[in-house]
Amino acid sequence: MRTVSGDASAVVLSADRLVVVENADRADYDTPRPAVILSFHELCLVQDDDEWFMGQLDGDGSVTCWASYGSDLAEAIRSL
């Protein structure tokens, strides 16, 4: 994770937090139960099923995601 991202401070966060995924086509949110949350400073990658979502770590510890980056973790990291 750190090698691919080039971020020596990247960490795995506890998945025991609120995660929301914005729905562009609707005015609501999905609330997945993530298996993994990776943090790269304020940006995060959240794994839900076989999909990686990109988002941001909010001040209260929750994560707001805005898009799916597919199932390939290395590609999602490169998209940061």
Sheet holding 19-22, edge to edge: 11-13, 36-40, 43-48, 51-57, 63-68, 19-22, 29-30
In this prediction, residue 22 carries a pLDDT of 87
| Distances in whole angstroms, Cα of residue 30 to Cα of each of 14, 17, 18, 34, 64 | 19, 14, 11, 12, 10
CB 20 within 8 A of CB 63: yes
Residues of the chain with pLDDT under 50: none
In this prediction, residue 26 carries a pLDDT of 67
In this prediction, residue 69 carries a pLDDT of 94
Q: What is the mean pLDDT of the chain?
A: 88
What pTM was computed for the model? 0.84
What's the total number of domains in the chain? 1
In this prediction, residue 41 carries a pLDDT of 84
Domain range for residue 54?
A: 2-78
- Cβ neighbors of 40 (< 8 A, separation 6 or more) are 5, 7, 9, 10, 77, 80
